[in-house]
Amino acid sequence: MNDGLQRHPWWKGHRGEWYVAVQGLLFLLIAFGPRSAFGLSPWPQSAAGLAHAAGLALLALGFTVCAVAALHLGNNLTPLPHPKDDATLVTGGLYRLVRHPIYFGVLLLAFGWALFVQGWLTLGYAALLFVFFDIKSRKEEAWLMARFPEYAAYRRRVRKLVPFIY
C-alpha cells in the first residue's frame, strides 16, 4: 500500500525511527540510571516490603500485557510508530480496552521496576516515559488516522494509554 511516504534512509526518521531511539534511551535510564540523588530521602523502611511486592506484581502484569498485545498485533507489530505498509487495524482483544496496550504494559514495567528497586529518580524516569509515550502516540495516531478512516471512531470510544482512564 502506498501511504504517500517516500522511502528514505532510516537515519532521516520518516517512519518514526527517532522516537524508537529516544525510547531506548529512556529504557536504559529506567533500568540502569541513578536511582536516588543527594538530598532525596530513602524510601521509608515500613513501605519497603509493600513497594517490593507491588513492584513484582506490576512487572508480571506489564510483561503479560506486552506479550498478549504483541500477539494480538501479529504481523502488524513493528518497533516504529509508523504502521507497516500491509498493516490492518486491530481493535479486538486488549485493543478494546486501550489504544496502545504495549505502551501501557511498558509503563507498568517501568513503574513496577521503580517500586521494586525503590528509586525516587526511577519513578521520575517512569513518569517521563509516560509523557514520552503520550507524545509518540500522537504522531502514531496521526499516521493511523490517515491510513484507517475507521480509526477516528475507535479513538473516540477507547482510551489512549491507561484503560478507562487516559
pLDDT band at 37 (very low <50, low <70, confident <90, very high): confident
CA distance linking residue 103 with residue 75, whole number of Å: 18
Residue pLDDT, tens place only, 88-108: 999 999 999 999 999 999 999
Taking Cα atoms as reference points, which of 34, 41, 23, 49 lies closest to residue 115? 49
The more confidently predicted of residues 38 and 73 is 73
Cβ within 8 Å of residue 87, ≥6 positions away: 76, 147
Taking Cα atoms as reference points, which of 131, 147, 125 lies closest to residue 15? 147
Residues 16/82, Cβ–Cβ less than 8 Å: yes
Residue with cell 486488549: 94
Q: Please provide residue 14's backbone torsions phi and psi, each rounded to the nearest 5 degrees.
A: -75, -10
CA distance linking residue 163 with residue 32, whole number of Å: 28
Q: What is the pLDDT of residue 6?
A: 53
Residue pLDDT, tens place only, 125-162: 999 999 999 999 999 999 999 999 999 999 999 999 99
Residues 80/16, Cβ–Cβ less than 8 Å: yes
93 belongs to a structural domain: yes
116 belongs to a structural domain: yes
49 belongs to a structural domain: no
Per the structure, the complete domain to which residue 130 belongs is given by 54-77+88-166
5 belongs to a structural domain: no
Say how many domains are in the chain.
Answer: 1
| CATH assignment of the domain containing 131 | 1.20.120.1630
CA distance linking residue 63 with residue 14, whole number of Å: 29
38 belongs to a structural domain: no
102 belongs to a structural domain: yes
7 belongs to a structural domain: no
